[in-house]
A and B are shown apart, each in its own frame.
Chain A
Amino acid sequence: MALPDARTQLPQVLQRDMRYLPGSLDRLALFLLVGFFLLVPPFLGDYWLKGILVPMLILSIAALGLNVLTGYAGLISLGQAAFMAIGAFAGVIAYGRYGIPIPLTLLLAGLTAALVGAVVGTPSLRIKGLYLLVATLAAQFIIVWTIQRVPWIGAASMVTINTPPVFIGAWEIDTALEQYYFSLAVAAVLTLFAWNLTRSRVGRAWMAIRDHDVAARVMGISMLRYKLLAFMVSAFYGGIAGALVVFAWVGAANVQEYELELSIQLLGMIIIGGLGSILGSYLGAAFIALLPIAISIGMHNLYGIVGGEIVSAAVLANAEHVVFGVLIVLFLIFEPLGLAHIWRRFSSRFEFRLGSAVRT
């Protein structure tokens, strides 16, 4: 006789919670999504790959990391762009100067960022909320400043380092499609990892800290370990995203791309997408990064169709910002819990209807 599986002993509610995908609609959606991301891109042009999907994947990874920190552990940070910068430069130096293979380089970029993340995270042991935000803000500036100052990094003259051709073994990643699949593979691994991590003991500890840190400490959760771990994981994801910018997107590490503005955007992504949600990181990245482009193209085409003489190009360019701003405000008013929550509600309502249809 087999031993009874511990899991079957758990109450039904907990069993449901522990499943990866609670609903059948979730499973269907994931299946369709994976199918789309795997099979459709070869038929999309370079514009979709290089202009839309690759940057979206990279930003999603960075947002995912920040979501672990802010959404799960409740520690707010304005330094994610700086961790991307660390990853970008660690990557380009490891690969370009020392010829370390790309997979190891990515890992190294992530680890370097994680190490710095641990240092940046130390104030979180004493302060939280807005005060922590200011501490991470300082880190953002200091990191970017340091990268430009240390001669060994070699970014002094033009703050930019170009990468040699990118090879994984004998396979050269140079077409847009290869770059896309490369980013997709990295994103998939990191997403699965985050998914499991947040559902594990570690994830529960983070959530306990987020919901009430004093209570969590009383229950025996080590603040030092879990808070720093959250910072390290978050920075690790940022670092890998930064390295991907170099190897799969732009081909160069440039300090000026990792300014405060990007950190704010990343924070915006997880707020719009949904704090404490893996799906939300992706949806938020798509929203913040792609919607302005969609609005711009949409208006551009409308302008072409209407005839072009009526409004000037400058008016059109400014209108993009107005429409985008209005949409953000609308979303925050109607769904403060983020895009991921919209999906959750939609799918659970669907499940409920399905359930009642089966019963009757």
Chain B
Amino acid sequence: MLMRRASIRFSPALATGVLAAGVLATASATLPTQTSIAAEGEIYHPMLVTRTGPFASAASGVSSGQQDYFALVNANGGIDGVKIKWEECEFGYKTPRALECYERFRGKWKIVYPNSTPVIFALSKRLTEDKVLGINLAGGRSESTDGTTFPYLSPVILNFWSQAASTIRYIAQQEGGEAKLKGRKIAFVHLDNAYGRQPFPIFDALAKKFGFEWKSWPLAWPALEQSAAWVDIARRFRADWAIQWNYGQSCNVPMTEMKKVGFPIEKFVGTLWCGSEEDVTPAGDLAKGYVSANYHGVGLDFPVIQEIIKKVHDQGKGNIDRKRVGTVAYNRGVLTGIIIVEAFRNAIKSAGMPLDGKKVRDGFRMIKLDKKRLKELGAEGLLPELVFSATYHGGIEPQLFQRWDGKTWTTISDWVPPYEDVVKSEIKRAAAEYKKQTKQ
């Protein structure tokens, strides 16, 4: 009885209090806070980040890597004196929250990198209206390589189709040339979603071209149970090679299964999204000798990373646990930071401050990271040469291949380019379909 009376008095008060606090807090978002006012001659750069939820472990490294590189640029006096001030908006890999974040900072975005393909799709209309470039490295919309059809989207490096084509070329190299692919059997183990099905058209085209046979083993998310697929691959299909297109936790499941069915790990290649430390450590010793693709160099042996350690982390200004510097996710962040800063630099040089989305997009299209420029930036071997234009937004680049020795990744190949003609014809087809959908 007492409880009941207490609740009657308490709950409307609680409800009003919470709702009022909520409204006030939301309303205060429209007011500028101390942190969001960028000083004169500063670039204010909002960032979409994922620091909570199932994808946080890798995604946080990517965000922090970018921030460490921005901190390095700032420590070196900025981009010709212009410093970068970043601010995070946490969306936890949830698309509706990312849309809300986008609206919260609308008009202030310079370049949007959600590190989430669904978010890029959901934002694409808004980005085009607002003239802000959305990038998603080695992901996003594969056909946004075509800068004419997608003026405000870009996969930057290696769209999904290039990843698939380059992986086939790597296998051909291991076999001793494309001619040797004839009659070979390739098993494709993949998540049964949009991401996992991306390689299909490329494999179809290449199988026809080189005469190999491929078969798909789709796995339902989260794909932690793959034994049936592997028994089938090893015993019935008797694959010569196997390729995995998993994500997150499902990446390390094949190591155990292959051991059980006796499929040799040397004949197994992972996608670059199964190529970070977090993806293999759970498999322990079974992952030794596993080869995966990657779009960048790994480790600490790059002048730019050394400089970050010296000028950012040693000064106590690091944005991440020092132990994670040099991991795959972190290096992805640093190279993304390099690309964003290059876009800023070009934009300032050609259009001047203050920057906006369109100026940065134009700056992005002027990016020319050749050997010389990469050396100047201390990023030689960290990322492939990149040259963008108004019609080419990146996406057809080579991959590196790396081997896991139980503790670290070692790069074991040169840059392996994709089969450009196959990738290009797929881009052309998909861009045309998009135009038809949106009645352009």
Contact = CB atoms under 8 A, between A and B. Distances in A.
Contacts of A293: 26, 97, 100
Given A250-B122, A297-B28, A298-B25, A308 B11 contact: no
A335 B30 contact: no
Interface residues of B, number: 57
Given A51-B100, A297-B25, A335-B7, A160 B193 contact: no
Interface stretch (B15-23, B233-241, B278-286): B15-23
Interface string A118-162: 000000000000000000000000000000100000001111111
B323 interface: no
B90 A164 contact: no
A162 B11 contact: no
Contact of A297 (B11, B26, B193): B26
B183 interface: no
B33 A304 contact: yes
A200 interface: no
B51 A295 contact: no
Contact of A334 (B11, B26, B33): B11
Contacts of B104: 47, 51, 297
A157 B90 contact: no
Contacts of A47: 29-30, 103-104, 106
B29 A295 contact: no
A290 B22 contact: yes
Interface in B399-420: none
Interface string B290-324: 00000000000000000000000000000000000
B23 A317 contact: no
Contact of B126 (A164, A251, A335, A346): A251
A321 B52 contact: yes
Interface string A275-290: 0000000000000011
Contacts of B118: 254, 256-257
Nearest to B430: A157
A170 B142 CA distance: 34
Contacts of B34: 304-305
A346 B26 contact: no
B372 to A, nearest CB: 36
Interface in A253-268: 254-257
Contacts of B36: 304
Interface string B102-143: 111010000000000010011011100100000000000110
Interface stretch (B222-230, B262-270, B330-338, B432-440): B432-440
Nearest to B18: A327
Interface in A234-264: 249-252, 254-257
B28 A301 contact: yes
A295 B52 CA distance: 15
Nearest to A92: B437
B439 A55 contact: no
Given A164-B439, A294-B23, A46 B12 contact: no
Contact of B25 (A254, A295, A331): A295
Contacts of A295: 22, 25
Contacts of A346: 12
Given A295-B25, A314-B60, A301 B52 contact: no
A293 B28 CA distance: 12
Interface string B181-210: 000000000000110011001000000000
A256 B30 contact: no
A171 B24 CA distance: 35
B92 interface: yes
A345 interface: yes
A342 B24 CA distance: 21
B97 A317 contact: no
A339 B30 contact: no
A256 B49 contact: no
The 9 closest A-B pairs by CB, nearest first: A298-B25, A51-B103, A251-B125, A294-B22, A304-B33, A164-B439, A317-B90, A304-B35, A159-B194
12 contacts: A50-B99, A157-B197, A158-B194, A162-B438, A294-B23, A295-B25, A297-B25, A301-B28, A317-B51, A317-B52, A317-B92, A330-B14
